[in-house]
Amino acid sequence: MTKFKHPQILLASNLKDGEVVFLGPTGWERDFRRARIAKNQEEAQILETIGKADYSANIIVDVYLTDVEIAGDGTPRPLHYREKMRIKGPSVRLDLGKQARGALNEH
């Protein structure tokens, strides 16, 4: 595992419908703001363990941790532009994807 530098969240795709999901306090969430934030290496490993188990249980696929920063309201914001895209939807179709369903465009 690479060195822990930033807080992290665990994201994946739902097996049945393919939507991007985030591991939350009690299960997989479709809104990144409900994602559980790992603040150290140990917490990140716990998230990964849950992710692996749910991958094996055929609930989610393509599961991985991504670096985030923590916004003023305590919710996570991905650092990389790829994951910034994944939490919203296509930048060329603002009417589609998660961004079309809720006020996710505050930054």
Q: Identify the residue among 17, 42, 73, 106 touching other proteins (CB under 8 A).
A: 17
102 binds other proteins (CB under 8 A): no
Q: Which is nearer to other proteins, 12 or 43 (CB)?
A: 12
91 binds other proteins (CB under 8 A): yes
97 binds other proteins (CB under 8 A): yes
What's the CA gap between 62 and 71, in Å, rounded?
Answer: 26
Q: What is the 3-state secondary structure (H, E, C) of 33-79?
A: HHCCCECCHHHHHHHHHHHHHHHHCCCEEEEEEEEEEECCCCCEEEC
| Contacts to other proteins from residues 58-77, by CB under 8 A | 58, 61-62
